[in-house]
Structure 1
Amino acid sequence: MFKHTIELSTAALILAHALPARAQTPFTVEEATIADLHDALAAGQITCRGFVQAYLDRIAAYDQAGPKLAAIREVNQKALTQADEFDKNRGRLASEPLACVPLVPKDNYNTAELPTTGGSASLAGAQPAKDASAVAKLRKAGAIILAKANMQEFALGGVSVSSLGGQVRNPYDLTRTPGGSSGGTGVAVAANLALAGMGSDTVNSIRSPASANNLVGLRATQGLISLNGIMPVSKTQDAIGPITRTVADAAALLQAVAGPDLNDPLTSPSAGKVPESYSAFLKPEALKGARLGVVKALFGTKPEHAEVNRVMQQAMDALEKAGATLVTIEDPEFEADKLNAEDDVQTYEFKALFNQYLAAIPNAPQKDLAGIIGSGQFHKAALEKFLTGAEARQDGMADPEYKARLERIAAFKVRVASVLDSEHLDALIYPLQKRLVVPIGELNQADRNGIVAGLTGYPAIDVPAGFSAPSETAPLGVPIGMDLLGRPWSEGKLLGFAYAFEQATKVRQPPASTPPLTASSSR
């Protein structure tokens, strides 16, 4: 699966008929953006095959060898063939906004040529009949599915460990977890094993790995992107979105997948809500005049929160310097632990939705949740309590407590909207995680704040805010992210704020554990 050589990729990246070396900057795969890729393709500096091969070489060197990141669940054996097809028709570069962009979706996205397992040994080999709607849209825009990413099994947790793929390691500190549940996608993008990726987010799961891996992670307004063909957890809380190294790339991926889908009725409200260009919002001055609410209940007060608070203070200073006005929001209703304990509905909805999903997979090794539990082929330490609890609910969505939670969620939506309106705010800001990601071996990432977006369905984007102090195991420090949450359908405005912050701070740095490859790196 991983038999690729660095000599091949190096030779393929620079073409014989390229311009004289002094006339152009050498192209490198590390930290490449969609714009960089397309410029290099247009200039004849690289081939699509060479670009894809370079990522395959890095996967071989760093995912199953070297630091053994375990971010990749399975490589797409057709990726190079799809790259060759692009090279035979370079006209696609003008018509396809994601032409030759190698992507890594989380392993809960249905893909026609690769199994979709949710990271579970109980579903090894489960092959969907067709792509998820979002995957089909990405392919139509020209993207290449490079591989499927490892993840927290069934997207049920925050440390990204699975029975099929093992423990994903954080490339900035190999002793720590990468956040989750989209940890494999986050690590693959951070370590330059792919250009970009797609994750899912029921509570924290796009923005947690973005925060922990110095990335941009966007959870879209629920209903903006189709969930058809995505392995479900909760119809009330699930959403999907891009994980990228830059805000511009997040905007490009969002453009490709946003909008109504006849196969997902929940997307019907998005009709007319997708702007002609999300990229048009990306202006360095976008923060000038913005009013941002600093949600104090989502900041920690204990010693273990000190590093995150220090970085957040620096981020807030940068926001003000860029022209934003910060407004302190003192509201205990935003307290995340309370919201998670009293309002989260995952265990009530999971069994019915998951069984329905499995019924649509022709060769699924297990046909329902009871079969998965009975097989014993799942990460018991991480999942047994949740899975058995969900299975024990005879009809979770008829439970009076479930209905009470839905009522509280509706009231919380009203509360958040009223705070935004009464203070004339453009967005709320807070750290996605109050503390650093936990060491490998721990099974729970405490102190996460993603539940605010998870319950309201409002959009939220996480951007790199800074690093903790460097240490022996984390030479750059551990990444820390800042969330910006806005009103429904305000993705353009949020992307603009994130872009202005990104350009003002330039926080993004690749991890030291996965440096550029040389010929000797593959030996």
Structure 2
Amino acid sequence: MNSAFESKTDGRDTQAPFNLMEATVATAHAAMREGRLTARQLVRGYLDRISAYDQSGPRINSILRLNPEALAEAERMDARAAGKPTQALAPLHGIPVLIKDNIECGGIETTAGSPCLRGNMAAQDAFIVQRLRRAGAIVLAKTNLHELASGGETVSTELGQTLNPYDLTRTPGGSSGGTGAGIAANFGLLGIGTDGVNSIRSPASANNLVGLRPTMGLVSRTGLVPCGLTQDTIGPITRTVADTAALLDAIAGHDPADPISSQGVSHIPASYTAFLDPDGLKGARIGVLRHFFGDGPEHRPVNAVMQQALAVIETQGAELVAVDDAISPDELLASTLVHHYEMEHDLDAYLARLAPRVGVRSLKDIIASGQVHASVAGTLTTAVALAGKDAEYRERLQRQQALRQRLLNLMEAQRIDVLAFPHQRRLVAPIGEPQADRNGVLASATGFPAIVIPAGFSAADRNAPQGVPVGLELFGRPFSEPVLITLAYAAEQALRARRAPHAAPALE
């Protein structure tokens, strides 16, 4: 296999001695500065990979629709950059981004995986997409998701089941599994997902990636097809912590149309990339949440990977603190989350502003259409039933506030910088099975930030020749993204656990 990509389309794309596999913002920009790469060549290289591995070959099925203007946008970027000093280029100049299909992009249909939203062509970009474009990024494609972001297996009526590129018999996590599988398979350089309960961190864990759920209020949600705005947020899914930091620089910021984003303004540093310290684990106190590990035979593969990863982290100067506080992720899932109580109200408000060509105006319309994937039908019906239960809803909001204070008190009392645990207590679910034993509820129920990094792989087998990825989650205090990035980067550098999937090798 040739590690340097070569376009096969026309004479304008000549061979570039640039390794597209596992490319980062830094390596792409270095190649552009040296004249070895153009934005058009980068876009063309990813389009070739999508054609070879997403639409044929293993048919990973992660890309829901391509941006028809991506190559033209790249050409405009190249023309704009011609003759400019490299330091004048935008921070994400020419970088192709995969965006989950519940986020509006002007000129590209946004369906959230549902046929009921066909024709939903936004007049303008979502706020975070505007920021991405201002930073120089190119929207390459919209990615598959679990329909209406309401499940963890990434299957939709619009595209079907997305496959995990490390084990084609398994799901890629969800609901942002299209972004996760696509970034893992090198179909784009950066990815954007959304997270209402687990949905950024689950695909990161399942696909050997980095996924950050930001503090609520750091990133705008304007232009998002919502599930429940108390918990919904948007964040990066990338192959490296450095790229997550660069992407967070682009998307974090105040949006007057999303008032909660005003809370983050005073907490945004000049650049999150300033916190990429390879020695960042020295002296850190990391609380290991014992109750977030499983004790059954199905949990042993994850526990083995986590034990090894934590041992490596300890060798880098971190102090591991056993935290035996009896916080149960399953109990929290059952008693604190509010997205199903909010879904009808928040989704109806979104649908009400859509163009007449979109044939639904409410969640009830979607259910009545009969065009609902079986995996979400029960969830949608439950959301309608819970919409009027205000006393239960208020009680859950109170439990969320109590959980915030409990965790802050725990971390303060034990002088803990972050809490650590596996994102999922068992390996990511096989296709056709529910996504069990995920631990993302702490961040979604509190609005506090959390980041997942690759911890390692389970033992290899026939279906997973490299093993199945396992993700380590780090959970922090509100607006502690700089701390999370510092610790995650140092751990990433020590673990070196990222590997490209064999199912989508370099093109010849």
TM-score with structure 2 setting the length: 0.96
Aligned ranges 1:177-216 → 2 under 5 Å: 177-216=171-210
Q: Which amino acid aligns with 1:284?
A: P
Measured after TM superposition, the shift of residue 395 of structure 1 is 2.8
Q: Is 1:353 aligned to residue 354 of structure 2? A: no
Partner of 1:508: 498
- What amino acid does structure 1 have at the position aligned with 2:347? F
DSSP 3-state at the match of 1:145: strand
Aligned to 1:172: 166
Counterpart residue number, 1:456: 446
Are 1:403 and 2:397 counterparts? Answer: no
Read off the aligned partner of 1:51 and give its amino acid letter.
L
User: Runs of 4 or more off by more than 4 Å in structure 1?
Assistant: none
Alpha-carbon distance in structure 2 between the residues aligned to 1:92 and 1:205: 39
Aligned twin of 1:77: 68
Alignment match, 1:23: none
Q: Which residue of 1 aligns with 2:458?
A: 468
Question: In the alignment, residue 37 of structure 2 is paired with which amino acid?
Answer: I
- Say which is worse superposed, 231-240 or 345-354, in terms of deviation: 231-240
TM superposition shift of 1:34: 0.3
Question: Out of 462, 465, 474, which is 1:484 matched to?
Answer: 474
Q: Could you tell me which amino acid in structure 2 is paired with residue 448 of structure 1?
A: R
Contact 2:7–2:15 at 8 Å: present in 1 too?
no
**CA displacement 1:455-491 (0-9 Å, x = unmatched):** 0111000000000000001010000000001101110
Q: Sequence identity, in percent? A: 49
> 1:234 offset after TM fit, Å?
1.3
Aligned equivalents of 1:435, 1:488: Cα separation in 2:
28
Q: Which residue of 2 aligns with 1:14?
A: 15
* Inter-partner Cα distance in structure 2 for 1:501 and 1:55: 29
Once the two structures are TM-superposed, the CA of residue 104 in structure 1 deviates from its matched residue by 0.5
* TM-score normalised over the length of structure 1: 0.94
Find the counterpart in structure 1 of residue 435 from structure 2. 445
> Which residue of 334, 341, 344 maps to 2:337?
344
How many residue pairs align between the two structures? 499
Which of these residues, 422, 426, 430, is aligned with residue 435 of structure 1? 426
Q: CA deviation at 1:12?
A: 2.2
Amino acid at match of 1:100: G
Contact 2:175 2:200 in 1 (8 A): yes
Aligned partner letter, 1:343: T
CA displacement at 1:235 relative to structure 2: 1.6
Cα shift at 1:9: 8.0
From the superposition, tell whether residues 471 and 11 of structure 1 become closer, same or farther in structure 2 (CA, over 3 Å): farther
Q: 1:133 to 1:65 in 2, by over 3 A?
A: same
- The answer on whether the counterparts of 1:13 and 1:47 sit within 8 Å (CA) in structure 2 is no
The corresponding residue for 1:113 is 107
Could you say which residue in structure 2 is the equivalent of 1:22? none
- In structure 2, the residue matched to 1:41 is 32
SS across alignment from 1:105: strand
Q: Secondary structure at the match of 1:89?
A: helix
Does structure 2 retain, via aligned residues, the 8 Å contact 1:107–1:118? yes
Q: What's the offset of the Cα at 1:390? A: 1.4
**What is the deviation of 1:238?**
1.2
Instruction: Give the alignment of 1:22-37 within 5 angstroms.
Output: 26-37=17-28
Give the aligned residue type for 2:273: S
Per-residue deviation at 1:8?
3.0
1:184-240 C-alpha deviation (Å, 9 max, x unpaired): 000010000000100001111000000000000000000000011111111211111
Task: Please tell me the residue identity of whatever aligns with 1:271.
Answer: V
Deviations 1:146-174 (A, max 9, x none): 00000001111110000101000000000
Q: For the Cα contact (< 8 Å) 1:152–1:181, is it kept in 2? A: yes
Larger deviation, residues 201-210 vs 88-97? 88-97
Q: In the alignment, which of 153, 156, 167 is matched to residue 159 of structure 1?
A: 153
Amino acid across the alignment from 1:31: E
Query: Structure 2: 5+ residue runs without aligned partners?
Result: 1-5
Equivalent residue number for residue 236 of structure 2? 242
Kindly tell me: are residues 234 and 147 of structure 1, through their superposed partners in 2, closer, same or farther at Cα, counting changes over 3 Å?
Answer: same
Deviation at 1:92, TM superposition (A): 8.3
Counterpart CA distance in 2 for 1:88 and 1:506 is 37
Give the gaps of 5 or more residues in structure 1. 16-25, 519-523
Aligned to 1:275: 269
1:86 and 1:92 in contact (8 A); partners too: no
User: 1:149 and 2:143 equivalent?
Assistant: yes
Q: Find the counterpart in structure 2 of residue 418 from structure 1.
A: 409
Which residue in the other structure is 1:327 paired with?
A: 321
- Which amino acid letter does the alignment assign opposite residue 209 of structure 1? P
Residues in 2 aligned to 1:364 and 1:224: alpha-carbon distance in whole angstroms: 31
- How far, CA to CA, are the matches of 2:370 and 2:11 in structure 1? 45
Are the counterparts in 2 of residues 13 and 46 from structure 1 also a CA contact under 8 Å? Answer: no
User: Residue 61 of structure 1 corresponds to which residue in structure 2?
Assistant: 52
Q: Deviations over 1:243-280 (max 9, x none)?
A: 00000000000001112111110111112110011111
Contact 1:307 1:435 in 2 (8 A): yes
Residue type of the alignment partner of 2:154? S
Output the CA distance in 2 between the equivalents of 1:423 and 1:437: 32
Task: Give how far 1:125 is off.
Answer: 2.5
Deviation of 1:386 after TM superposition, in Å, equals 1.1
CA contact (8 A) 1:126 1:365 kept: no
Deviation at 1:6, TM superposition (A): 4.9
Deviation for aligned residue 1:343: 1.2
RMSD value over aligned CA atoms?
Answer: 1.3
Q: CA deviation at 1:122?
A: 1.5
